[in-house]
Structure 1
């Protein structure tokens, strides 16, 4: 019998693939499978891994799966928890002026509320867009996991319960943010924050409808020399 630490990996995005590949290349670790759909979760029950690791997985993991791994289920979240639980943390850090960062935490029955292993803050700038901040948050997730995985694997990590306060946003909130009301009044800074948060080429996010036509809006802000 192998002494390797057995893992089932959930999700896929750029950060998730980088963490997944790093684990696959690591001595003493055996990544049994990479799951991306809800239906594939049954393999966690079949394989009984020591850990489940999630990064970029888009489904809620049910309690009966969370209870299986002896070491627990870990998630990388591109938000500085308890701020920006849920969807699109990169956008809401800009719009709400909340701390940006990455969090490694244990998963529980709720969304992004489990005990925190570690957090890594990411600085922001008025020239940031949703895309540029997203890229730095992905880098922070990978760095955070690599830094703290050895202590988790050794059972030497310390955890902190999340405070009850914080912020949470659904995908619906993002969709509502994308629609610009031509009659809405707001401060210039607030408008620019909203537009740059939604700027994520090549995707069309912010839009306005005038005289039956839809127009998409991106912004580019440059610091003066």
Structure 2
């Protein structure tokens, strides 16, 4: 079996595992390791792979690691960059009405700001919950990676540079604040429904409200006629 391309994989979520397993099946690829923690990144220095692939990895990779693989470090992000860099992009696409989609890009020292190799929009629907959109984004990530992998390993990619002053970025604490529903707040109906459906992700309890010293969790189900 040919092992022309030596890969170290970073990831932990469902889309990441699907991409990892697909790479393991490629005759032209040897997947050296699957890493999920920051402490394991030293493996990349020891292995000196041709390329690093990340999908679902939750840590920033330092420049000292990014410079090791000759073919660079790739990341799959479940957002249509430059929109929704950072955490919970499926949620913010619904809440803020920004484009939903997926992006394959080279990693740099910041979060989700590297040069874009390919991206694809995923059409949202008013009946979508955060979970519905998340699952479609996972499928789209896997498809986008498979389609662009041959160009990546042949070093036949044309990239789009991201501009730091474009797009949006969200931290995990913003998601936590979004989950806290104020019973006294005046809201617009459509915006509030968007917020509730974005936070609906069973079996997780996200949206919550305090009523008479009791905490209630809220999910929503929107159906088309």
Give the aligned partner of residue 207 of structure 2: 206
Q: What are the residue-to-residue correspondences of 1:154-173 with 2, within 5 Å?
A: 154-164=154-164, 165-173=166-174
Report the alpha carbon displacement of residue 162 of structure 1 after superposing the two structures with TM.
1.0
Distance in structure 1 (CA, Å) of the matches to 2:11 and 2:39: 13
Match of 1:78 in 2: 78
SS of the counterpart of 2:52? strand
Residue in structure 2 matched with residue 69 of structure 1 by the alignment: 69
Q: Encode CA deviations 1:15-53: one digit per residue, 9 max, x unaligned.
A: 000000000001110000000000000000000001000
* 1:178 alignment partner in structure 2: 179
Q: Residue by residue, what CA displacement relative to the aligned partner does 1:152-209 show, whole Å, maximum 9, x if unpaired?
A: 0011111110133100000000000000011111100011000000000000000000
Residue of structure 1 equivalent to 2:197:
196
- DSSP-derived class of the 1:135 partner: helix
> RMSD over aligned Cα, in angstroms?
0.7
Instruction: Verify the 8 A CA contact 2:200 2:220 in the aligned structure 1.
Output: yes
Corresponding residue of 1:218:
219
- Structure 2's unaligned 5+ residue stretches are none
Q: Is this contact kept in 1: 2:102–2:137, CA < 8 A?
A: yes
- For residue 8 of structure 2, give the secondary structure of its aligned residue in structure 1: strand
Shift of 1:131: 0.1
CA distance in 2, matches of 1:195, 1:69: 42
- Specify whether residues 3 and 218 from structure 1 end up closer, same or farther in structure 2 by C-alpha distance, changes over 3 A only: closer
**Structure 1 runs (4+) greater than 6 angstroms displaced:** none
Match of 2:121 in 1: 121
Distance 1:190 1:10 in 2: 36
Q: Secondary structure at the match of 2:124?
A: coil
**CA deviation after TM superposition for structure 1 residue 3, in Å:** 5.0
Who is 1:13 aligned against?
13
Q: Does 1:102 align with 2:84?
A: no
Aligned residues: 223
- Structure 1 alignment gaps of length 5 or more: none
Shift of 1:11: 1.1
State the match for 2:42 in structure 1: 42
Q: SS in structure 2 opposite 1:94?
A: helix
Mapped partners of 2:28, 2:119: distance in 1: 25
Offset from partner CA, 1:69-102 (integer Å, 9 cap, x none): 0000000000000000000000000000000000
